[in-house]
Amino acid sequence: MSRKFKLWKDPYDCGLNLYKKRIIEIRPGVTVLVGCNGIGKSTLLKNIKESLKKENIPVLYFDNLYEGGSQARSEKVFSGDFSFIAQSMNSSEGENIILNICNLAEKIGIFVKTGIYNKRNNVFAEIFKDQDREKQTIELLEERWILLDAVDSGMSVDNIVDLKEELFHTIIQYNNDKEIYILISANEYELANGEQCFDVYNGRYTRFKDYEEYRNMILNSRKWKDKRNLERTE
């Protein structure tokens, strides 16, 4: 089943209404958020994350810009995984991206199975008051939300294809006993290609038959973003 969310009207208290719609509906499976830079993809992910946490629904949120790269190495220092650190320090930018994705894949695997997201030893289940209640609650929850921001940043086309086929679709395929939602903010057409996409600009699902159609959507969303910003300043 799908789930509805009420969107923040003015998330930054600056008189800016980011979205055309107040209520959106997200479907299970892989959903790629699409739109121009600044349209509100990252804010939408944070909006959904906070809504899910209020309902005690397991959610994993990963921001590649802040949790990848040096941040991933810092995390491994904290956990004592010095082999990862050594490999990362001697890898190219592209190789580091793959290392970070492998690190993320391990976390996702644990999260899908248990409903717990370990992040520097602070687990999602901290919202529960005690261990017995935590265990009982997680056993009842078969819904899993995986929110990934800017995960395709710096990746090559073949890396993105591998990421979709070998991670995202594998998660869905082998966990059909759970209702899994994977939401990804996209900057590259290759991530959106062939997937069910959510047009943040219009607040609805869409698919793209080719790059030109995707490009036109990006440009149209940019026009609306510029108009929205202009209205705020008038």
Q: Give pLDDT, residue 87.
A: 47
Q: Give pLDDT, residue 118.
A: 55
* Edge-to-edge strands, sheet with 59-63: 59-63, 143-149, 179-185, 29-34, 196-199, 204-206
Q: Give pLDDT, residue 103.
A: 73
> DSSP letter string over 24-61?
EEE-SEEEEEE--TTSSHHHHHHHHHHHHHHTT--EEE
Q: Give pLDDT, residue 72.
A: 45
Distance CA 167, CA 154 (A): 18
What's the token pair of residue 15? 């008189």
Q: What is the pTM of this model?
A: 0.78
Q: Give pLDDT, residue 218.
A: 94
Q: Give pLDDT, residue 226.
A: 87
Neighbouring-strand partners of residue 179: 143
Q: Give pLDDT, residue 30.
A: 94
- Containing structural domain, residue 21: 3-233
- What string of pLDDT tens digits covers the 234 residues of the chain? 889 999 988 777 777 778 888 999 999 999 999 999 989 999 999 999 999 988 888 899 988 766 554 444 444 444 444 454 444 444 445 455 666 777 778 888 888 888 776 554 334 444 444 445 445 444 445 889 999 998 877 777 887 888 888 888 888 888 878 899 999 998 889 999 999 999 998 999 999 999 999 999 999 999 988 887 776 655
Give the domain CATH number at 180.
3.40.50
Report the domain count for the chain. 1
Distance CA 200, CA 184 (A): 12
Distance CA 119, CA 67 (A): 10
